[in-house]
Amino acid sequence: MIQQTLFDPRETATLIFQEALEAGHVHTLVPQALHLDGSRLTVQGRPFDLEKVDRLLVVGGGKASGAMAESVEAILGPRVSEGIVVVKAGDPSRTSRVRLVHAGHPIPDYAGLQGAQEILRLVQSATAQDLIICLLSGGGSALLPAPVPTITLGEKREVTRLLLEAGAPIGELNVVRKHLSTLKGGQLARAVSPAALLTLILSDVIGDLLDVIASGPTVPDPSTYAEAVGILRRSGLAARTPPMVLAHLSRGAGGMIPETPKASDPVFVNVTNCVIGNNSLLTDRAGEVARGRGLAPILHSVGLQGEAREVARQLVAAARKIRDEKPEALPVCLIAGGETTVTVRGTGRGGRCQEFCLAAAIELQGQLGITMLAAGSDGGDGPTDAAGAIADGTTITRAQKMGLDAQSFLEQNDSYTFFSQLGDLIITGPTRTNLMDLYLCLITRPTAH
C-alpha cells in the first residue's frame, strides 16, 4: 500500500474515472468487434461475405452512434453504400458516407423525427441481397422518435417528459415508447426484412437487456400494450397523458392493434445483435487503475439503481462501515456501476449523478476519509453540461461559508447550481461513448485529510 498522504483523494478519484472512460472508447470497441479480411466481414464469429452484398447500408441512433459510424467507415471504407445515423445535437463526429442527423435528447425533436423517418424509408428499400448495419447506443430511444400515425411528436414528447419527471426507470419508459413507435420494439427489424441485419450495440442498461437498449428496435419485444397502460396508471400519469396516446395504448391492450414482433416472428431469422461494450468495462478498468494507485478495489455493485438520493445514503453507509470496521484494509476504492433515477419535484437543474453527490455530501458532513465521485460515461448528466460531481466531508462546510443551504438545493433538484458554485462539477465534454454511470468512493484513514 502507498502512504495515504502521498495522494489527493479528489484528484485520484477523477483520474480513475478518466482512465476508466478510455476502456469504453468506441474507436477501440468497434475494431475489436468488426474484422474485415478481403471481402469477408466477421462479427463475433459470424461471417458475412460482402461479395454477395449488393448494398451495405448503415443506420442507427444514440449518443455514441456518431463515433460508431466513424469507426465503421474507417474499417469498411467504400464498401459502405450510404447511411443515416441520428446523433445528439452537438456531436463532433465526422463521416463521409453516412449522413449524421443532429437531434434533441432527452426530449425528442423534429430533427430526430425526420431522421427516423428517413431511416425507415431507406431500410424499406432494401432487398434480400443487401446488408444493413445498425449502430445503437443509449439515447437511441429519444433520438429515433418515429411515432405511430395517430400520435404527434408533441404528444409523444409530452408522455416522455411526464415519465422522466416521475422518475420512471428506463425500462418502463421504453415499454411505453415502444408501443407509440414505428421503429422501436423490433419494428426496425420488421422494416428491414428480408435484408440481413447486423446490429452493433453499446449497452447502457443493467444486465444488457437488448429489448431495453434504445428501446430494442432490432430485437423481439417481450412487452405489451397492456403493460404500457399499466405503467402510466401506476405512475399516476394516466389522467395527464395526452388523450390520443392513452387511446392508442388502450386500443392495443384491447387487441385492436397488432402487437410489436415477438421472438417467434420470422423477421428475426436474418438478424444478428452484438453487444460490443457495457458498464463492466468501466468498473473493471476502474479497479485496475485504483490498484495501480495503491488502493484496494472493492466492487460494490454492477447494478446500482433506485432513487439517486436514497442510493447515495446507502453507499455512504457502506463506505463508513468499511472505514470504521476495516481500517487495516485502507485505502480502499469502492466501485459501482449502474444508473439511478431522480423524481423531479423542484425547478432546479441537475442530473442523477449530481443529485447523488449532493445527497452524499449531506450524509458526509463532517466525516473524514470518504470521497465520492459519480459521473455519467457519456459526459452528460441530465440536461446539463456536466458528467457528474465530486463530494466529501468538507463539501457542506465550504457551502455554508458561501451561504449555500444544501438541503434546499436538494429539495429543488438544483444540484448543478450547488456544485457549480463550489467548483466541484465533473465536466468532460462529450465522451463519445455511453455505458451508464460510474460511482467511485475513495476511503482513507481519517488522518489522510
Tell me the C-alpha distance between 21 and 431, whole Å: 8
Q: 445 or 365: whose pLDDT is higher?
A: 365
pLDDT bracket for residue 66 (50, 70, 90): very high
Tell me the C-alpha distance between 249 and 245, whole Å: 6
pLDDT at 5 over 80: no
At 62 the three-state DSSP class reads coil
Backbone angles phi, psi at 433, to 5 degrees: -145, 175
Query: Grid coordinates 442507427 are at which residue?
Result: 60
Is residue 223 within 8 A of residue 158, CB to CB? The reply is: no
Is residue 265 within 8 A of residue 286, CB to CB? The reply is: no
Residue 241, pLDDT score: 97
| Cis status of the peptide bond prior to 331, with omega within 30 of 0 | yes
Residue 323, pLDDT score: 96
Is residue 59 within 8 A of residue 132, CB to CB? The reply is: yes
User: What residue type is 130 in one-letter code?
Assistant: D
Domains and CATH numbers, the chain: 4-20+280-444 (3.40.1480.10), 26-277 (3.40.50.10180)
pLDDT at 448 over 70: no
Per-residue pLDDT reduced to its tens digit, 277-300: 999 999 999 999 999 999 999 999
Is residue 107 within 8 A of residue 32, CB to CB? The reply is: no
pLDDT bracket for residue 6 (50, 70, 90): low
pLDDT bracket for residue 3 (50, 70, 90): very low
Per-residue pLDDT reduced to its tens digit, 102-128: 999 888 899 999 999 999 999 999 999
Element (H, E) at 288: helix 280-292
pLDDT bracket for residue 368 (50, 70, 90): very high
pLDDT at 449 over 80: no
Per-residue pLDDT reduced to its tens digit, 144-199: 999 999 999 999 989 988 998 888 887 898 899 899 999 999 999 999 999 999 99
Residue 447, pLDDT score: 63
The total of other beta-carbon atoms located within 10 Å of residue 34's CB is 22
Residue 7, pLDDT score: 76
User: What residue type is 131 in one-letter code?
Assistant: L
pLDDT bracket for residue 445 (50, 70, 90): confident
Per-residue pLDDT reduced to its tens digit, 384-429: 999 999 999 999 999 999 999 999 999 999 999 999 999 999 999 9
When pLDDT is averaged across residues 49-54 and rounded to a whole number, the result is 96
pLDDT at 14 over 90: yes
Residue 256, pLDDT score: 96
**327, 311, 320, 300: which is closest to 445 by C-alpha?**
327
* Cβ within 8 Å of residue 303, ≥6 positions away: 206, 207, 337, 338
Residue 1, pLDDT score: 38
When pLDDT is averaged across residues 263-270 and rounded to a whole number, the result is 96
pLDDT at 333 over 80: yes
Residue 188, pLDDT score: 97
The DSSP bridge pattern shows strands 56-61 and 131-136 to be parallel
Per-residue pLDDT reduced to its tens digit, 221-262: 999 999 999 999 999 999 999 999 999 999 999 999 999 999
Tell me how far apart the 2 most distant CA atoms of the chain are, in Å: 70
Element (H, E) at 406: helix 406-411
pLDDT at 4 over 60: no
